[in-house]
Structure 1
Amino acid sequence: MPKLRGEAFWRETLRSAHYVVAPMVDQSELAWRLLSRRHGAQLCYTPMLHAQVFLRDANYRRENLYGEACPEDRPLIVQFCANDPEVFVQAALLAQDYCDAIDLNLGCPQMIAKRGHYGAFLQEEWDLLQRMILLANEKLSVPITCKIRVFPDIDKTVKYAQMLERAGCQLLTVHGRTKEQKGPLAGVASWEHIQAVRKAVNIPVFANGNIQCLSDVEECIRKTGVHGVMSAEGNLHNPALFEGRNPLVWEMAEEYLEIVQKYPCPLSYVRAHLFKLWHHTLQVYQQLREELAKVKTLEGIVDVNRELKLRCQEEMANQKEGEKPKEGLPFFHWICQPYIRPGVKERCKENGAGEAENGVRGKRTLEEEEDGNSELLSKNKQKKKLRNPNKSFDPSLKPKYAKCDQCGNPKGTKCVFNMCRGCCKKRAFKETADCPGHGLLFKTKYEKSLSWQHSQRGIQSTELSRRGEAEVVESVVLKEAGDS
């Protein structure tokens, strides 16, 4: 059967999905996907998987995709992060029989993506992305899709999307924020960018960003003209978002815990989901928040959930007529509702001015620390400073590493190819060359192998000649014996 493309792929394989659950690391696991599908989601993505790890680790494959088959969990798109065309395609080949499409993550803005050189930190490397998508489009039996973040400039974003389409991308998800917009700096996603991309390409487009309730979904589709809308954080706080409902938190929590009993997942995933669902209530009952953080078993989590339910029901019973929600919430804290991230100024107020006066910061991004934009030291660095007063955290004094010509990772200082060990090994193997700097001796071993084979042939020919001489002598002796 030929591979469906573009609109046909969206209509037939994805069943014209409008409501989409985003790929979320450690959060969009099977149990959560099933809960979301029961409450209106029409398409789900797996959590982002590392192509390199997926390729080499059978346990990782089994835990994240090859587990118990579930017919309810379709259509499904598997998302990978990768920066090597061959690795990406080999991992995708192992996954393609378990999903309806393979997605390349080009939107992750986190520091781990910067260090690993994937996600949104590939958005300037158009040649590499073209090679990855072209190869995947050629080798895979399922379509290839991409999830991107925008550039500040709309025209550049449009050209970026068109390049991905030409390379073979069959569906594009556009998160309307730049890679710098995250955490307290997230701000508002630009639907203007998404609308421009939708008009410029001929493949289906999903929008991502600013989705907190069903009315946001409908408004986004109306304003941008996209085929579907993807939700991440909105879905985590209210799995019934796509139904247009705001159910009681414990209803969603209990249903999720029942699914987890049937389709187990790591306890850390379950705990994280309950922290999201009960977010507003846990601000009220701090002791139960601590208990949820410390509990070590699924049964313990169920007990904490039951206690939270009882506390809320008791509060509802004692509620006065006409009483309104506190803390500026649209609903009472026991009802599923959006969580609005505080801005930078609000976050500073939460952390308290006293911390800044003492030279200690509250929460702040790792990028600030790494890029040297902050004048203050974190608590962890202050402890290191106490242990070693001479230690300096001045970013200008950090050693500067030369980058690999191929992938951008630090290169070996003595590498003959000016590459990191991984890239050097591939090239040395391909060219049958040596790299003493990395201890790779493909050429030397090959020459030794040839020498050994040559010596073996010499030994064999000597043995054959000796055997021939012996046979001649033996025949002469037998002939003489016969004559006598």
Structure 2
Amino acid sequence: MASPLTAKESQSQTRTLHLDPLQDLNDALCSDHHQQQQEQQTFSYKSPLRCLTVRGPMVDNSELPFRMLCHKYRADAAYTSMLHSHIFTESEKYREQEFTTCMEVRPLFVQFCANDLEVLLDAGKRVETHCDYVDINLGCPQRIARRGNYGAFLMDNLPLIKSLVENLVQNLNVPVLCKVRIFPNLEDTIKYARMLEDVGCSLLAVHSRTRDEKDQKKVQANWEAIRAVKNALRIPVLANGNIRHMDDVCGCLEATGAGGVLSAESLLENPALFAGFQTAKWVAKNEESRKYGKLDQADLLVEYFKLCEQYPVPWRMIRAHVHNMLGDWFRIHPHIREDLNAQNILTFGFLYDIIDRLRELGAGVPLHLKDTNAETVSANRLFV
């Protein structure tokens, strides 16, 4: 395959770690075989982190410039977008477009969806010298995963999952991570997690909703299930679900005892989440907080555009981030959103002009930063 380093190596979405699993994860990330495979900067946790924060995987939304933006705003690690293992092994164009990395945003978790042992191993071999973990997507609940027989729908075939993980563990030179959903029955979930640990999974990310609970706005994540899994395992566990701002990070860590947290969709709207910034809708009316007028979503978007100009990505990805970060602004001035949607071909000049127009119309809403979060974040480096 053509070298994926042509654009620079990237990172994934990992955010907050507790002390005991932190040491285990640090050992794995900085193990000798990483240093022997390639010359890379050593990743170490020098500040008194409480947890690891990770930018989770999102199809078409976890590309290098966005991971770099999240990293700037204190994401500790990041996932790539979910990569289709079969296409990845066969298409050089797909590899060059979908997998770019840079040393500035490590650790990097590369996630594949797969149901074939040899295809998945081939894909993993192609990236192992450019990442810190290879991840198997065992949590996607969407219809496309059902049709392709991957993601959470492999939960119906645990022997296949066991073989997929075991084959990677035995043949890759980097640790294997699994991102899973829970079963309706807690005992089944714990058995599932123990099976993954027993075959060599080094780090388990648990999305605490079932396969059928797709709508995260309607279904509360089950943090108690994550605590039960964490208590049943020896390997580090990362928690996923209901992470919308730093208060959720703290609440999740306390409730689950997990080594870290992942956030995905919330970061699409607010890439500065792990730096303590909150969108207006998450600021309680009775809560003393201050408006931090020096940063808003348009500022973040401009930073993202500049990274995209340096490390080009498909325009469909850029368009999606514009809608995600300026959604509230577009609701105030929908005609500008309509102008964006009418553009078949985008340019950076047009996108910068959209932001200027919104600012002139006074559409902006500053992000908020609580004083308590500001102190915590400045003391502890967090990761996406």
TM-score of the aligned structures, taking structure 2 as reference length: 0.78
Cα displacement (A) at 1:336 = 4.5
- Secondary structure of the corresponding residue to residue 122 of structure 1: helix
CA–CA separation in structure 2 for the residues paired with 1:249 and 1:310: 15
**2:360 counterpart of 1:310:** yes
- 1:150 alignment counterpart: 182
- Aligned partner of 2:366: which letter? I
Q: Which amino acid aligns with 1:302?
A: Y
Give, in whole Å, the separation in 2 of the partners of 1:336 and 1:277. Answer: 12
User: What CA distance in whole angstroms lies between the structure 2 residues aligned with 1:15 and 1:147?
Assistant: 23
Instruction: State which of 264, 267, 272 in structure 1 corresponds to 2:315.
Output: 267
Alpha-carbon offset, residue 334 of structure 1: 2.0
Deviation at 1:63, TM superposition (A): 1.4
Return the offset for 1:305. Answer: 2.1
Separation of aligned partners in 2, 1:21 and 1:161: 22
Contact 2:138 2:151 survives alignment (8 Å): yes
Q: Which has the bigger relative contact order, CA under 8 A and spacing at least 6?
A: 2
Instruction: Answer whether contact 1:77 1:100 (CA < 8 A) is retained.
Output: yes
The equivalences for 1:297-336 within 5 A come to 297-299=346-348, 300-312=350-362, 334-336=365-367
Number of the residue aligned with 2:153: 121
Alignment of 1:174-193 (within 5 A): 174-183=206-215, 186-193=218-225
Q: Which residue of 2 aligns with 1:460?
A: none
**Superposed CA offset, 1:440-459 (max 9, x none):** xxxxxxxxxxxxxxxxxxxx
Match of 2:121 among 83, 86, 89: 89
Identity of aligned residues (%): 39
1:440 corresponding residue in structure 2:
none
Contact 2:22 2:52 in 1 (8 A): no
Partner SS for 2:213: coil
1:301-327 per-residue CA deviation (whole Å, 9 max, x = no partner) reads 222122122222xx6xxxxxxxxxxxx
Match of 1:10 in 2: 25
- CA–CA separation in structure 1 for the residues paired with 2:217 and 2:271: 25
Pairing 1:368-387 to 2, within 5 Å after superposition: none
2:175·2:202 contact (CA, 8 Å) conserved in 1?
yes
User: SS of the counterpart of 2:189?
Assistant: helix
8 Å CA contact 1:7, 1:203 repeated in 2: no
**Normalized per residue, which structure has more strand?**
2
With over 3 angstroms needed to count, the CA separation of the structure-2 counterparts of 1:47 and 1:71, relative to structure 1, is same
Q: How does 1:427-466 map to 2 (within 5 A)?
A: none
Which residue number corresponds to residue 230 of structure 1?
A: 262
Q: What amino acid is aligned across from residue 268 of structure 1 in structure 2?
A: R
Kept after mapping to 2: 8 A contact 1:212/1:234? yes
| Equivalent-residue separation in structure 2 for 1:298 and 1:71 (angstroms) | 28
**What is the match of residue 56 of structure 2?**
22
Shift of 1:83: 0.3
Residue identity opposite 2:360 in structure 1: L
In 1: Cα distance, 2:78 partner to 2:69 partner: 11
| 1:162–1:201 Cα contact (<8 Å) kept | yes
After TM superposition, list the pairs within 5 Å mapping 1:16-415 onto structure 2.
Answer: 18-65=52-99, 67=100, 69-183=101-215, 186-246=218-278, 247-295=295-343, 296-299=345-348, 300-312=350-362, 334-336=365-367
Unaligned runs of 5+ in 2: 1-20, 30-42, 46-50, 279-294, 369-384
Alpha-carbon distance between aligned partners in 1 of 2:332 and 2:215, rounded to the nearest angstrom: 23
* Partner Cα distance (1:53, 1:118) in 2: 14
Relative to structure 1, the CA distance from residue 130 to residue 117 in structure 2 (aligned partners, 3 Å threshold; closer, same or farther) is same
Cα distance in 1 for residues equivalent to 2:220 and 2:85: 31
Offset of 1:280 from its aligned partner? 1.1
Q: For the residues of structure 2 that align with 1:175 and 1:56, how far apart are their CA atoms?
A: 30
Secondary structure of 1:25's counterpart equals coil
Deviation at 1:184, TM superposition (A): 7.0
- 1:9 positional shift: 5.2
Deviations 1:116-149 (A, max 9, x none): 0000000121111111111110000001110001
Higher helix share: 1
Q: What is the one-letter code of the residue matched to 1:224?
A: T
Tell me, in whole angstroms, the C-alpha distance in 2 between the residues paired with 1:189 and 1:136: 29
CA shift at 1:251, angstroms? 1.1
What's the CA shift string for 1:61-92, capped at 9, x where partnerless?
A: 11122x4x522121101000000111111110
Q: Figure out how many residues of one structure are paired with residues of the other and give that number.
A: 311
Report the Cα offset of residue 183 of structure 1: 3.2
Displacement of 1:240 after TM fit?
0.8
Report the CA distance between 1:96 and its aligned residue. Answer: 0.6
Q: What SS does the corresponding residue of 2:156 show, helix, strand or coil?
A: coil
What CA RMSD, in Å, does the superposition of the two structures yield over aligned residues? 1.7
**Conservation of the 8 A alpha-carbon contact between 1:271 and 1:301:** no
Could you tell me how far 1:279 is from its partner in structure 2? Answer: 1.1
Distance 2:218 2:102 in 1: 35
Rg (Cα) greater in structure: 1
The one-character-per-residue Cα deviations of 1:260-286 (angstroms, maximum 9, x if unpaired) are: 111111111111111111111111111
